[in-house]
Copies of this chain bind each other. A is one copy, B any other.
């Protein structure tokens, strides 16, 4: 795990870093918002631990910038004191969790791990194929950022192709994949039609459904 710690108090930062290092968490330190920004420009982090009070501004400002850029990196906010209002505004800025100083380092680590796990769990569901992003849980397909709206059948079909990318899939196999066995009266032409519709919706993508005459179809990634 790669972590960015934004904290200006040296003792605090050192104590945290030693502890995290011991747990095998690679930890970069930024003492100001400025430093944090330059690090974030060149490096992706799995988790950010952000102190609220920094010499050159508020942690929440950085947080808002990130979310503005739709960077969803999990952020844990550290703060000295915390009124109910602070709490609300911090969470509103897009923080995922917060911890009030002084805190127990074990708790900090536990929460960092929790955020990391959540993040990884979400990501596992995202498949990237060429310039396509496929998320089975959210049932979302994106083509270069833009969302592609697929119907149920189209989605099932694409899912089949993606899970077997590179393999030739027979029409029968595909048919069984998207129609239930009750649909005995549906013609094979329906499948061809769905392939056509999918192709149209995915046109402009590096992902292409190739026809294998007499055999079936195959999903290929071109460049």
Shortest Cβ distance from residue A197 to the other chain B in the assembled complex, whole angstroms = 15
Residue-by-residue, is A148-188 near B (CB-CB < 8 Å gives 1, otherwise 0)? 00011000000000000011100000000000000000000
Chain B residues with CB under 8 A of A94: 128
User: A137 contacts B168, CB within 8 Å?
Assistant: yes
A212, B147: Cα distance in complex, Å: 14
User: A87 contacts B213, CB within 8 Å?
Assistant: no
A218, B137: Cα distance in complex, Å: 10
User: A88 contacts B128, CB within 8 Å?
Assistant: yes
Given A121-B114, A124-B97; A213-B92 close (CB under 8 Å): no
Chain B residues with CB under 8 A of A126: 87-88, 91
Give the contacting residue for A138; candidates B123, B127, B218; CB below 8 A: B218
Give the contacting residue for A166; candidates B88, B138, B218; CB below 8 A: B138
Chain B residues with CB under 8 A of A127: 91
A157, B206: Cα distance in complex, Å: 32
Chain B residues with CB under 8 A of A212: 139
Name the interface residues of A189-223: CB closer than 8 Å to any CB of B. Answer: 212-215, 218
Residue-by-residue, is A132-147 near B (CB-CB < 8 Å gives 1, otherwise 0)? 0100011100000000
A121, B128: Cα distance in complex, Å: 21
Given A139-B212, A214-B152; A124-B91 close (CB under 8 Å): yes
With A138-B167, A138-B218, A152-B215 given, can you name 6 additional A-B contacts, CB distance below 8 Å? A91-B128, A137-B166, A139-B212, A151-B213, A152-B213, A152-B214
